[in-house]
Amino acid sequence: MEKVMTINRPPEDFAQFKQDFDDTYHIEVMMPTAPTGKTTPTQQIKNEWDAWHALKERLIACAGNVQFAQAPNGRGTEVRVSFPYSAPGGMVGSMLAKALDKSPEQWITEDLRHFKEMMEAGEIATIAGQPVGSK
């Protein structure tokens, strides 16, 4: 499976993340675990590195990969994540995700979107904690 989003920042802004991924991958890919089946609460993602770590950890957990490519004519960077359709930890992983009502694909998409929001807008859109009338 593949998910791709274009982030409105030049490729050089991603070099450190690519390096970090390669470093971690070499250490951890030998022992993949199941995707954790939860997203890092947006309040805990305070900066670009937090958002990156959440995405990276999920990818590592399911033996996924990430590539950065320059989008045409200065339109930013295409961040493409790929992961095996049935994530390692296979059954467990996808059962866990199912129980939580989201597929591994949806978790990864959410992490990728949070990374994009953090890189572009400097925060992650949320309504958690806003007022609402009695239910």
Partner 1 sequence: MKAICWYGAHDMRVENVPDPKILNPHDAIVKITLTAICGSDLHCYDGYIPGFEKGDIIGHEFMGEVVEVGKEVTKLKKGDRVVVPFPIACGKCFYCQKGLWSLCDNSNPNAAVAEMMYGYSAAGLYGYSHIYGGYAGGQAQYARVPFADVGPIKIPEELTDEQVLFLSDIFPTGYQAAESCDIQKGDIVAVWGCGPVGQFAIKSAYLLGAERVIAIDRIPERLNLAKEKGNADVINYEQADVVETLRAMTGGRGPDGCIDGVGLEAHGKTIDAMFDKVEQTLRMESDRPTALRQAIQACRKGGVLSIAGVYGGLIDKFNLGAAFAKGLIFRMGQTHVHNYLRPLLERIQHGEIDPSFIITHRMGLEEAPHGYEIFKNKQDNCIKVVLKP
One-letter identity of residue 86: S
Nearer of residues 22 and 123 to partner 1, judged by Cβ: 123
Q: How far is the CB of 94 from partner 1 (least distance, A)?
A: 18
Site for partner 1 in 92-121 (CB under 8 A): 106, 109-110, 113, 116-117, 120-121
Contacts of 132 (CB under 8 A, 6+ apart): none
The phi and psi torsions of 39 (rounded to 5 degrees) equal -95, 145
Q: Which of 45, 36, 34 is nearest to 84 (CA)?
A: 34
Which of 2, 22, 23, 123 binds partner 1 (CB under 8 A)? It is: 123
Binding site for partner 1 (CB under 8 A): 6, 8, 75-76, 106, 109-110, 113, 116-117, 120-135
